[in-house]
Amino acid sequence: MPYKIIGADNGDAWLDVKGQKMAPPQISAEVLKKMKKTAEDYLGEPVTEAVITVPAYFNDAQRQATKDAGRIAGLEVKRIINEPTAAALAYGLDKRSRQPYYRGLRPRWWYFRYLYYRNRRS
């Protein structure tokens, strides 16, 4: 493995990545930073807000760590929602319109798995 699990001073499990100690939210933040940059490159505008999906079995600590990762990545995390909930909402939106909109997160817009769907009921 390119990393090993080590103990942090506070007893948490951290990762040693190429000699650098990293907390799990830092690792997640790096992934979110890459996703943010990809979205900004595609959209041609800054991305500052996000709705992030997590597995339904995540506990409160894991949800908070995900929210922290979003903040570290430079995002204002509007909501953390369960992936099954996001899938159900996306399915419902898809029934109304099959046209995804790739835009920044704004009022009346939903973010699911990197696609923005315009809510036509508003």
Is residue 51 in some structural domain? Answer: yes
Is residue 10 in some structural domain? Answer: no
What does the CA dihedral 101, 105, 64, 29 come to, rounded to 10 degrees?
A: 80
Is residue 49 in some structural domain? Answer: yes
Is residue 32 in some structural domain? Answer: yes
Indicate the DSSP class of residue 42. H
Enclosing H/E stretch for 36: helix 24-43
Is residue 110 in some structural domain? Answer: yes
Structural domain harbouring 114: 23-118
Is residue 86 in some structural domain? Answer: yes
Is residue 13 in some structural domain? Answer: no
Is residue 6 in some structural domain? Answer: no
Q: How many domains does the chain have?
A: 1
pTM more than 0.85:
no
**What's 99's domain CATH number?**
3.30.420.40
Comparing CA positions, the residue from 105, 8, 7, 94 lying closest to residue 49 is: 105
What digits encode the pLDDT tens for the residues 68-118?
999 999 999 999 998 888 877 777 766 665 555 444 443 333 444 444 444
